[in-house]
Amino acid sequence: MIDQLLSEDQKAIDEVLTGFATREMRDHAAAAEAEGRTPPVVAGRLHELGVTAPLPASVGGAGPIAAPDYLLCVQRLAWGDPGMAYDAVVSGLPAVVVGRLGTAAQHTRLLGAAQDTPARGSLLVLEGHGRSPSEYRTTVRAAGEDVVVTGRKLAVLRADSADLVLLAARDDTGRLRLFALDGLPEGAVVVSPGEDADRSLGLRAAPTRTVILDDVRIPAAAELSAAPAQVEAALALVRLTTAALALGAGRAAIEYASTYATERIAFGKPIASYQGVAFLLAEAAMSHAASHGAVLDLARLLDESPAPQDLEQRTTDVVVRACGRAVDQTRAAVQVLGGHGYIADHPVERWYRDAMTLAALDHDPLVSAFRAP
């Protein structure tokens, strides 16, 4: 798939990451899912790339990366494998947000050692499928030099072993506030899935848990004291990473199914020559291009405008469409492969499950069915 929306620099980034994803991720994808973790050798090489947790220059990093370039990196890593990409990207997102909103002192305290080892961050942000930031129910109230947080966070990666945690909560005025902590706060409860619980549908290389905060005290100084518009923009970027991950899964599936369709012979000719297959793949490719363009456009806006109008609703629309279309694209790939699409010998069934899981992280797929395509 030739991307006409990318600049020459972005095409160079895409080429480098395509090579990395092909060499370092695809061969390990099945094992990562079976073991429920990213192999350490892959995690180390992802860290060496420096794109999943770009650090400020003040702590030895290369400085912030433009939002479109960052999301392009996310998308291409997900093309390699959505599960390992999710693990690496979400682990690095707290550092990305601290780098954008934190003070110099917070950079030094929270990010100073991040150059040496792979990021082990965690997001205490999501609260329910279909719930946007304006609907978050986790509360925060002042208590002397501390604040007290009460709420429930879902889909928390590395809940009990993170070394940098980003927490979102609302105060009694309704203002959304972000806190950066050097680990899960004392008193937070990580809900055990239970010995008999089924494994998640997808993203099995990055297992997540639920965290309950019941009057948990954290230092007030842990707040990223940015303007409300900056907080909203940071959360929009966090949400757009989900869309970028889904786009990567969709693109991988379309390309794989297209290659399969040109090689699979039925009734004396490739199945790609039949309209039922060709139209299905063409529609999937067009929907991917539309979502890809929408994600990059909104990412550019985040860099250009400190307070884009209706940012939350615009972000929701982009994420809903990108994730919903990725589900359709990966489902189409499974259909092109026929019975082979449902067996683990081909990766499309894994990409389909990963896309379904990503679609459920930020929004309710049933709600998206009532939105404009």
Question: Could you tell me the two tokens for 320?
Answer: 């809903």
Same domain membership, residue 215 and residue 129: yes
Query: How many structural domains compose the chain?
Result: 3
Residue ending a domain, among 70, 103, 120, is 120
Look at residues 40, 129, 19, 128 and name the one whose alpha carbon lies nearest to residue 84: 40
State the number of CA atoms in the 13 A half-sphere of 133 facing the CB: 30
Can you tell me the distance from the alpha carbon of 364 to that of 196, in angstroms, rounded to the nearest whole number?
26
**Which residues does 279 contact at the CB level (< 8 Å), separation at least 6?**
none
Residue ending a domain, among 222, 241, 258, is 222
Which pTM was predicted?
0.94
Question: Could you tell me the two tokens for 105?
Answer: 């002192």
Can you tell me the distance from the alpha carbon of 191 to that of 251, in angstroms, rounded to the nearest whole number?
34
Same domain membership, residue 266 and residue 169: no
**pLDDT tens over the chain, length 373 residues:** 546 678 888 889 899 999 999 999 999 999 999 999 999 999 999 999 889 988 888 888 877 789 999 999 999 999 999 999 999 999 999 999 999 999 999 999 999 877 778 889 999 999 976 788 999 999 999 999 999 999 999 999 999 899 999 999 999 999 999 999 999 999 999 997 764 445 678 999 999 999 999 999 999 999 998 899 999 999 999 999 999 999 999 999 999 999 999 999 999 999 999 999 999 999 999 999 999 999 999 999 999 987 788 999 999 999 999 999 999 999 999 999 999 999 999 999 999 999 999 999 887 655 544 444 4
- Which domain does 187 fall in, by range? 122-222
Same domain membership, residue 358 and residue 234: yes
Can you tell me the distance from the alpha carbon of 120 to that of 143, in angstroms, rounded to the nearest whole number?
29
Domain of residue 240, CATH code: 1.20.140.10
Question: Could you tell me the two tokens for 367?
Answer: 């709600």
| Residues 206 and 38: beta-carbon distance below 8 Å | yes
How many other C-beta atoms are found inside a 10 Å radius of the C-beta of residue 5?
12
Same domain membership, residue 190 and residue 246: no
What is the per-residue DSSP string for 271-339?
A: GGGSHHHHHHHHHHHHHHHHHHHHHHHHHHHHHH-SS-TTHHHHHHHHHHHHHHHHHHHHHHHHHHHGG
| Residues 290 and 329: beta-carbon distance below 8 Å | no
Residue ending a domain, among 222, 242, 277, is 222
Residue 1 lies in a domain: no
How many other C-beta atoms are found inside a 10 Å radius of the C-beta of residue 108?
13
